[in-house]
Amino acid sequence: MEQSTIARSYASALFELGERRGDLESYARALAAVNALLDADPRIREFLRSPRIKVDEKKQVLRQAFTGRVPPLFLNFLLVVLDKRRQRLLRAIARAYDALLDERLGRVNVQVTLAHSPDAAELTAITSRLSMLVGKAVIPHVQIDRNILGGIIVRYSDRLLDGSLRRRLVSMRSRLLETTARL
């Protein structure tokens, strides 16, 4: 079975659990906290991944680290992930869980490329306009690329909206060359 499929299965199980408990957001925060911990210290990552350390020892450490800090059922979920030796999939599980949560809440993640860093008002205007266009609440992820010269490039799902000045100039150049070639 492909790893992304396995991660989606685990995320779906956790999502169902969160729905039953009315705790979807806190499970998302708990997954984010676990991933932040894994990113912060490579020793923790290696501790969880190492086949030399017994699963019971890993579970004990997780219990000590997370009891009282995450929902008890989330902690049980982490322990099951360890039992099934799927700890390498925690990041993928978190991504899949976030996608399920975004879908449930009517949100869409959008990659926005600009030629310069937007100020708060500009970002609010972009977010508002994109939300109207997409028909869902937009979560913008801004990337700066000075090569586009100006305008905006938007990517979401399988769509690309290129309103960059660079694309317009290239398009204008092509039309001018076609017109010149016909003369």
Specify the CATH number for the domain of residue 54: 1.10.520.20
Find the domain containing 130 and state its range: 107-182
The pLDDT assigned to 64 comes to 93
Distances (CA, A) of 84 to 10, 18, 46, 127, 163: 11, 20, 17, 41, 47
Is residue 183's pLDDT more than 70?
no
- The alpha helices in 84-164, defined as continuous H runs, are 90-104, 120-134
Residues 57 and 139 in one domain: no
| Band of pLDDT at residue 149, cut at 50, 70 and 90 | confident
Residues 88 and 113 in one domain: no
Residues 89 and 150 in one domain: no
| Band of pLDDT at residue 1, cut at 50, 70 and 90 | low
Domain count, the chain: 2
Among the three residues 103, 118, 142, which one is the final residue of a domain in this structure? 103
Give mean pLDDT, residues 113-141.
Answer: 93
Residues 14 and 97 in one domain: yes
Is residue 23's pLDDT more than 90?
no
Report the DSSP pairing between strands 137-144 and 107-114: parallel
Question: Residue 131: how many CA atoms within 13 Å on its side-chain side?
Answer: 12
**Which residue did the predictor score with more confidence, 72 or 3?**
72
Residues 53 and 116 in one domain: no
By mean pLDDT, which of 38-47, 116-125, 126-135, 169-178 is the weakest? 169-178
Residues 12 and 83 in one domain: yes
Residues 98 and 162 in one domain: no
Among the three residues 82, 103, 124, which one is the final residue of a domain in this structure? 103
**Per-residue exposure over 140-149, b if at least 16 CB sit within 10 Å of its own CB, e if not:** bebeeeeebe
Residues 82 and 15 in one domain: yes
Paired strand residues for 84: none
The pLDDT assigned to 107 comes to 93
The pLDDT assigned to 179 comes to 80
Residues 59 and 76 in one domain: yes
Distances (CA, A) of 161 to 26, 27, 67, 148, 166: 34, 33, 46, 13, 13
Q: For residue 68, give the DSSP letter.
A: T
pLDDT above 70 as % of the chain: 98
Per-residue pLDDT of 27-55, as tens digits, reads 999 999 999 988 998 998 899 999 999 99
Among the three residues 103, 123, 138, which one is the final residue of a domain in this structure? 103
